[in-house]
Every structure is written in structure tokens, then in C-alpha cells.
Copies of this chain bind each other. A is one copy, B any other.
Amino acid sequence: MPQTYFTVGPSQIYPTYMQHLQTAMDLHLGSIGHRTSTFRKIYQHTTEQLRILLNIPASHAIFFTPSATEIWERILLNTVKCNSFHLVNGAFSQRFYEYAIALQKTPKLYNVNHGEGFDFSSIIIPEENELICTTQNETASGVQIPVSDLVELKKKYPSQLLCTDIVSSAPISDIDYNYIDSSFFSVQKAFGMPPGLGVWIVNEACLQKAKELEAKGMNIGAHHTLSSFYKNYQAFETPSTPNTIAIYILGKIAEDFNLIGIENIRKTSASKAKLLYNFADDNSSFQPLVTNPNHRSETVVVLNTNEDSSLFLEAMAQQGFIISSGYGKFKKSQIRIPNFPSSTEEQMAELIYAMEAEVSKK
């Protein structure tokens, strides 16, 4: 039976992935060095396509890391002397905060209950804070921060660096990079690729901060420092041997997305999200965890289940639909459904039809 991965990442592979992979292998891209002109052209092409897709201005550089998780560590090491402030709306923003503790910074956190969003009018960030850490889309709780709230936040604290984790919302969320100093994502979510590549978008202000910290004699790490990324980026190279094939394929999938047009992709995404939330609102077996529509993620839909969700997930798997469980302690009381470009409206409708049929068996 065919299997469809409605998992929140790693997720269903994007339909064009295999074709790009075959081309990459035919072109011997697995054998080329990262100091060759072939590699530089790949890096350049991928960043050009990402700039179009995500509307990234020239003020921001684009770096490649093996994962987004690593970027949590790198941005804290490179831009924070002491103080980071973490808006925690789920398990991943919490881990970002814990990275700051492990790195012996003095982070502060503002957290909300699982499934709640932020009321930014009530959040006061200390003046001495250096980096504001936000998770625009929380893969654990399905809570999203509206992009307009991030803009207001930066306007309120213009002297602080603002970063946002868009791991499971890129390229759907329309980030305004004039107000975001840094963001990052990984390819195994909405880009429909296997894991092994993270993308780090960084502006000059972050680099300047890293240079300041270096000049002060701070330990900013040895591997993948911002300076080493910037230096290599001037020639479209990477500081260490990268996952070349993934960088190539990301560029080709971004190109595919650009051919469809990001506005069209976002329209389809909104329409599919509506299908999912309507289904949950109308079906008494599920309740959307996030009750405030402004805070509902469009790309990761988290639903409470009345009964042990593992039984439902097993039954769905029998029908070929692999769906994510709840995260951590919510494993058996919730399910998480991604709404990524890998699935069409028809496939989303099929999933919903199958879920309805499954719960109506009771």
C-alpha cells in the first residue's frame, strides 16, 4: 500500500525531489569539492532562489548548516555576551532557552501554557538584553507568532537583535526581514527533503555583534563561527565540507516553488489549513489545541484527542497515512498534522475523509 507521510518533519518528500536527486548524481555532485566553481555556482543558485522565494533582502546573508538545532548554539555563541530573552511557546523554544543555559549565558524566559500564544503588550524585555529569541512556528504546540507581532516587537526594541525560528513555517510565513535580524529553518519540513541541512539567514548587525564579542575575547566557538561563514560566503563557499547534494536540491525545489509562485503556494496552504481546522472544529473527536485563531499555525495543526491518540494513529497507518503523535508528554493525547507544500488539496481532502471515516467507526 502506498504510504503518505503526514508527519511534521521529517515529512513527505516533495514530488520533484527524486528527479533532482537523480540529476545531482548524474552530475557527480556527490564527488565535487566545496572549493570548486561547480560548488560555488550551486551555492549561488540556491541563495538566489531562496531570496526570491522568501523575499530576503541583500542586507541578509544565507548560510548552510547541517541542522537548525546547531544554529541555536551558533547564534547564541556569536551574538550574546550574557543576555538572551526567550519567548517560549512549546518544547522547541524551551530547548533553545536551555541551549543558552548550557552555554553559560544568563537567559531570561517568558513562557505561556502549551497551546497559547503571546500577548506582546504584556511582555517587557530588559533594556540590557542582547538577543530576543522567538519561535515563529512551534512544531510541538502548533502555536504561531503573527509576523506583524514580530515587526512590532522589533520596533519596540530596535537596539536588540531579534531572531526567529521558522523551521516548520518557511516558506509559508511571510517574514519581513527589515525587522528580523536572523531566522533559520531546516529542509525536512515544508521543503519536503530528507533531513541533513539547515539554512541560516543573518544580517550585518549579527556579524558586527560577533566581531565585537571576538574583539572582547569572548569564546564564540571554533566551528561554524559567523565570521567564518561570512568570509567563505563572499566566494559562495562554506567553512567546512557541506551536504552539497542537499544544497543543490534545495535550490531546485525553491526554483520549483518560484515557478508555481509563492503567492499561489501560500493561497493553497491557507485553503488546506482551513480544511484541516474546519474538520477539527466540526468533529467532536478532535479539538484544535490552539483556540485563538490568530495564534493557530497554518503549517503544523495540533489537535487534542478524546482517547489515546496512538490507537487512532495506528489505525490510520494501516490505511497508509502516517501522522505525527503529540510531542513529549502530549504524545498520547494529541496528534500533529503538517500542512506542507508536499501535499495537494486533494491529498489533504483524502486524509480528512479517511480520518472522518476512522472516527465514525466508533
User: What residues of chain A have their CB less than 8 Å away from a CB belonging to chain B?
Assistant: 3, 5, 7, 9-13, 17-18, 21, 25, 28-34, 66-67, 69-70, 72-73, 76, 98-100, 102-104, 186, 188, 193-196, 219, 221-225, 240-246, 322, 324
Known: A5-B31, A11-B31, A21-B25. 12 other contacts (CB 8 A): A5-B28, A10-B241, A13-B28, A30-B193, A30-B195, A31-B194, A66-B196, A70-B223, A76-B222, A188-B241, A195-B242, A196-B242
Taking a contact as CB atoms closer than 8 A, the residue among B13, B69, B242 that contacts A31 in the complex is B13
Residue contact A241 to B5, C-beta cutoff 8 Å: no
Give Cα A34 to B188, complex, Å.
Answer: 12
Query: Copy number of this protein in the oligomer?
Result: 2
Q: Which of B12, B67, B103, B223 contacts A240 (CB 8 A)?
A: B67
Chain B: minimal CB distance from A314 (Å): 13
Q: Are A223 and B99 in touch, CB under 8 angstroms?
A: yes
Which residues of B lie under 8 Å from residue A99 when comparing CB positions?
Answer: 222-223
Out of B5, B67, B196, B223, name the residue touching A73 (CB < 8 Å). B223
Quote the shortest CB–CB distance from A217 to chain B (angstroms).
8
B residues within 8 A CB of A100?
222
Please state if A31 and B7 are interface contacts (CB–CB under 8 Å): yes
Q: Are A25 and B18 in contact (CB under 8 A)?
A: yes
How many Å from the CB of A84 to the closest CB on chain B?
12
Contacts of A223 in B (CB 8 A): 69-70, 72-73, 99
Contacts of A34 in B (CB 8 A): 195
